[in-house]
């Protein structure tokens, strides 16, 4: 059995000393400590992918906390299953003693409890995401009810916009020429034409 460690910080400016200090008691050689300096939103990280290729059945992966492994619990569940079931390695999360898949007294209690705890954490994370989206939707609806307008203010059009728009709709002007006459981009002109049609 070999022991490996995984460390992650979100940027090169962040310090990894705290994570390294937590790993010291395990005496893991530097060649088996893998570190990524990037976001935990997904697992497309070079050091992590290299680590996965190194792990073998019976090995142990140690991380300081579950958020160092990743921040998306759906993907954490996938990677957890990959490591513990497909590869057959164990995982130990130092900040949460229950997230330890190693056998205890010759049974599978450790793996069972760790999987259960992880499922609960994933559920809580998903529920919190849904609550955040719900609160955002309620906040936007309340603001709109008070007359708050979201987005950038529309670019004011010259007084002769309607004349140019009419000529464009009648096929007398191209989009490029109409936009040039108004001094705006083609995208802005098309957006304003569409907006004007909706309000008619």
Active site residues: 10
Strands 3-9 and 90-93: unpaired
CA dist., res. 95 & res. 28, Å (int)? 18
Among all chains, which residue has been given the structure tokens 């002007």?
173
Q: What is the DSSP string of 24-84?
A: GGGT--GGGEEEEES-SSSS--HHHHHHHHH--TT-EEEES-HHHH-S-HHHHHHHHHIII
Q: Do strands 33-37 and 60-63 pair parallel, antiparallel, or not at all (unpaired)?
A: unpaired
């Amino acid at each position: 059995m070999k022991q490996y460690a995984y460390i992650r910080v979100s940027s090169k400016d962040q310090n990894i000393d705290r994570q390294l200090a937590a790993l010291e008691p395990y005496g893991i050689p530097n060649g088996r400590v893998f570190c990524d300096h990037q976001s935990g939103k997904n697992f497309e990280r070079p050091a992590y992918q290299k680590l996965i290729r190194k792990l073998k059945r019976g090995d142990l992966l140690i991380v300081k906390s579950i958020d160092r492994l990743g921040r998306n619990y759906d993907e954490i569940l996938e990677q957890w299953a990959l490591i513990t079931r497909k590869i057959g390695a164990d995982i130990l999360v130092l900040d949460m003693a229950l997230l330890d898949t190693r056998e205890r007294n010759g049974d599978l209690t450790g793996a069972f409890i760790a999987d259960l705890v992880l499922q609960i954490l994933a559920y809580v994370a998903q529920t919190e995401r849904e609550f955040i989206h719900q609160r955002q939707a309620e906040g936007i609806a309340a603001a709109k009810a008070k007359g708050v307008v979201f987005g950038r203010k529309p670019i004011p059009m010259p007084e002769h916009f309607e004349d140019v728009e009419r000529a464009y709709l009648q096929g007398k002007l191209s989009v490029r020429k109409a936009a040039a006459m108004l001094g705006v981009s083609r995208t802005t002109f098309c957006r304003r034409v569409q907006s004007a049609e909706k309000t008619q």
